């Protein structure tokens, strides 16, 4: 998962991991971000597996969630052949260069605005990724979200869930 700092990239990865654990899978999460909190680059590598995870690092991930053009430019080439690519088409206008990938493009920013808050763009993208890739269920992600949102942020739960579901619906239309 990759994008600008402030887009919720690391949270997306954490939610995937918690959802994987909820389903009894083995997981790792490795964040990477620049010194800037917002506007710099942020990405994380998530491993979800029914077997043991040998390393939290991979040179050729099976999937990429590209939340912006620099992320697509940087990581598209490294996806394993036959892999999966989810693009936030609200911010990425170019087509993928690879033709050997399954590609889903969703306007995550627009979906988030329609759900009620631009701040949940990451949830729209995560919903699309989960629907498109099927590595964990959307319901497991919602369970993880409910556990992770602190008490003082509970009012955001409904809009986050709505964005997840709308993102999944947008991806389902492309299958």
* CATH code assigned at 18: 3.40.920.10
* pTM of the entire predicted model: 0.94
Give the DSSP H or E segment for 113. helix 108-115
| CA gap 153, 175 in Å, rounded | 34
| Per-residue model confidence (pLDDT) at position 142 | 98
> Whole-angstrom Cα distance, residue 27 to residue 148?
17
Phi, psi (degrees; rounded to nearest 5) at 77: -65, -25
- pLDDT (tens digit, 9 = 90+) per residue, 80-107? 999 999 999 999 999 999 999 999 999 9
Q: Do you know the residue count of the chain? A: 175
How many domains are contained in the chain? Answer: 1
> Range of 62's domain?
2-172
Residue 18 contacts residue 148 (beta carbons within 8 Å): yes
What is the rounded average pLDDT of the residues 158-171? Answer: 98
Provide the terminal-to-terminal Cα distance of the chain, rounded to the nearest Å: 21
**Which of 73, 79, 75 minimizes the C-alpha distance to 91?**
73
Per-residue pLDDT of 24-72, as tens digits, reads 999 999 998 776 556 678 999 999 999 988 777 889 999 999 999 999 9
């Amino acid at each position: 998962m990759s994008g600008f700092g402030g887009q919720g990239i690391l949270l997306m990865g954490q939610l995937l991991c918690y959802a994987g654990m909820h389903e009894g899978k083995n997981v790792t999460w490795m964040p990477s971000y620049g010194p800037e909190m917002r506007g710099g680059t942020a990405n994380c590598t998530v491993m979800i597996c029914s077997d043991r995870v040998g390393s939290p690092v991979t040179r050729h991930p099976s999937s990429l969630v590209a939340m912006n053009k620099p992320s697509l430019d940087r990581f598209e080439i490294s996806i394993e052949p036959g892999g999966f690519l989810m693009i936030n088409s609200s911010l990425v206008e170019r087509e993928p260069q690879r033709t050997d990938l399954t590609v889903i493009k969703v306007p995550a920013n627009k979906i988030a605005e329609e759900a009620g808050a631009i701040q949940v763009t990451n949830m729209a993208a995560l919903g699309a990724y989960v629907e498109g890739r099927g590595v964990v269920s959307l319901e497991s992600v919602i369970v993880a979200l409910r556990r992770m949102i602190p008490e003082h942020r509970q009012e955001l739960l409904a809009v986050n869930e709505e964005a997840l579901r709308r993102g999944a619906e947008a991806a389902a239309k492309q299958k």
